[in-house]
Amino acid sequence: MGQKLVTGEQTQSSALLPFSGSVIKLLVHVTEKMWGCCPNHWKSFGSSCYLISTKENFWSTSEQNCVQMGAHLVVINTEAEQNFITQQLNESLSYFLGLSDPQGNGKWQWVDDTPFSQNVRFWHPHEPNLPEERCVSIVYWNPSKWGWNDVFCDSKHNSICEMKKIYL
């Protein structure tokens, strides 16, 4: 009888030895998305990690702070993501998002170049309302709810950083 190759709890015939590297690569590829993790103090959701800042800054400073950590200001792609994020936030504060209109012409763009959908329904009523307000914060307005508000980029707000999970 041929030799046995023991990998973890499974035993394979030596006939698989020439393919064992491929099998292991395949197993790693199949399972890699199952072992995603986030840095300490970051919150995990989907394939991303989020850090809620505890310090107010200008939009550009907030983005630089995120970049220094290997992240960027948050890009909200779905209602589920927005709902997860808002559960982490303090209703008495506002937080910069990674959305801006650098020219003030209504052409909003995300910091990671994700296309911005004009059909997005997360704006508070009557927002965006001023072309001079070229950055976006998420804020809780009573009796409404969490929503987006265009704000001056040189105003100070907290912020939310986002990075992709680290997969092992």
pLDDT in tens, 132-164: 999 999 999 988 799 999 999 999 999 999 999
Domain around 149: 36-167
pLDDT of 36? 86
Backbone angles phi, psi at 80, to 5 degrees: -60, -40
Query: What contacts 101, CB < 8 A, 6 or more positions away?
Result: 107, 108, 109, 128, 131, 134, 135, 150
Compute the distance between CA of residue 3 and CA of residue 30 in angstroms, rounded to an integer.
Answer: 27
Q: Work out the mean pLDDT of the chain and round it to a whole number.
A: 85
Q: Is residue 125 one of the residues assigned to a domain?
A: yes
Residue with the bigger pLDDT between 166 and 50: it is 50
Kindly state the tokens that stand for 51: 């850090």
Q: Is residue 31 one of the residues assigned to a domain?
A: no
Mind listing the pLDDT tens digit for each residue in 67-109? 999 999 999 999 999 999 999 999 999 999 999 999 999 999 9
Nearest C-alpha neighbor of 98 from the set 51, 32, 43: 51
Q: Is residue 30 one of the residues assigned to a domain?
A: no
Check if the beta carbon of residue 74 is closer than 8 Å to that of residue 138. no
Q: Is residue 53 one of the residues assigned to a domain?
A: yes
> Which amino acid does the sequence have at 21?
G
Check if the beta carbon of residue 50 is closer than 8 Å to that of residue 85. yes
pTM, to two decimals: 0.78
Proportion of the chain above pLDDT 70, given as a percent: 80
Backbone angles phi, psi at 101, to 5 degrees: -130, 80
Q: Is residue 11 one of the residues assigned to a domain?
A: no
pLDDT of 16? 41
Buried b (16+ CB within 10 A) or exposed e, 74-108: bbbeeeebbebbbeebeeebbbbbbbbbeeeeeeb
User: CATH code at 136?
Assistant: 3.10.100.10
pLDDT at 33 over 70: no
pLDDT of 119? 77
Domain count, the chain: 1
Q: Is residue 13 one of the residues assigned to a domain?
A: no
pLDDT at 18 over 60: no
